[in-house]
Amino acid sequence: MSHTLELAITVATSVLGSSGLWAFIQARNAKNAAQSQLLVGLAHIQLVAIAEGYIARGWITHAEYDDLRVYLYDPYRALGGNGSAQRLVQELSLLPSHPPSEEHHDKQDV
């Protein structure tokens, strides 16, 4: 084996075996985990606020539901979001997709 190859192998194993490299990798993983937790928390707050707004309004359009589901809920769930947001999204799926008609309100007032 050539001297250069032996030196390269020695350097590579020293770098891979050093505790500094593994500490760096672990710190980076911890930072990524904290960032994921932060994103899940922010997504949860947004999901709850938006869903409660639609529930209070009493209806949600198909486009609003799809946007909420695709751009907020699905990524939230993929990052490990919990079941409380799932219950709200299920509740949204039961709402009508259009506002109550004026005729319907007039009949209820009689």
33-92 tens-digit pLDDT: 888 999 999 999 999 999 999 999 999 999 999 999 999 999 999 999 888 899 999 999
Determine the Cα–Cα distance for residues 106 and 40; give it in Å rounded to an integer: 43
Q: How many CB atoms lie within 10 A of CB 71?
A: 11
pTM for this prediction:
0.66
From the number of C-beta atoms within 10 Å of its C-beta (0-12, 13-18, 19+), residue 63 rates as exposed
15 within 8 A of 21, measured Cβ to Cβ = yes
Determine the Cα–Cα distance for residues 19 and 53; give it in Å rounded to an integer: 51
